[in-house]
Amino acid sequence: MKLSDYKMLTFDTYGTLIDWESGIHDGLGPLLDKLPLKLSRDEVLELFAECEMRQQAEHPQQVYSSLLADVGRAMATKWQLKLSDEEAQSFGRSVKHWPEFADSAESLKYLRQHYLMATVTNCDRISYMGSNARLEIEWDGIYTAQDIGCYKPNLRNFHYMFERARRDLGVLPHEILHVAQSLTHDMVPATQMGMSKVWINRRYNVEGMGATAPPQGDYTIEWEFNSMADFVAAHREEVA
């Protein structure tokens, strides 16, 4: 099996192409400033992961910008702090400010020459517009949690993606290679769906799971790279 055997790449965006951990931590700045004791970045991100997974499971149809605001409120409650509505809503709207990884746009530009490309993302349509502008790509499909009515790792997200790829692009499931950073949101459900996968292990030199909750379930990984640039380099070498 080779990287070039596939007709289409599907991507997770946040954590894979957008540096959501930096975006989350920066967006929580007003709340973190109220903490009497300074916490490490990963301590903050781990609480975020816990609160986000709970909120997504309990409110699967909530638009992500609103859900993110409620995650901020839940974190404030956990720390026994007060977060104003404006501060919570500002955090909810912060996705458009989350930075892209330095290699994302150029890597997508290269891969676009070889594959159909789509993203299946736990974001809402409006928030994603800001991220898409940073990535400088015209996707063949953007499949958001808002469109689907639930969040990954729910398998409905992948069934929806399969159906849209088949209907709109003429691509069958076995012709799709899924590219993502999150073991929890992507590797586990994509394994359950029988997909081939590329793990972009952005945290390869950092311990812990960061802003992603630990995976619940088994998974396989067909390819692992530490960055999108490494993925592109492997593809270049293969097709040379």
Helix (H), strand (E) counts: the chain: 11, 6
Is 168 tagged catalytic? no
Q: What is the C-alpha to C-alpha distance for residues 171 and 94, in angstroms, rounded to an integer?
A: 34
Burial class for 191, CB neighbours closer than 10 Å (0-12, 13-18, 19+): buried
Please, where are the H alpha helices in the chain?
20-27, 29-32, 41-58, 64-78, 85-92, 104-111, 125-135, 145-148, 156-169, 188-192, 228-239
Determine how many CB atoms are found less than 10 A away from the CB of residue 192: 14
Lookup result for tokens 């909750």: 213
Catalytic annotation, pick one of 5, 12, 42, 168: 12
Q: Active-site residues: which are they?
A: 12
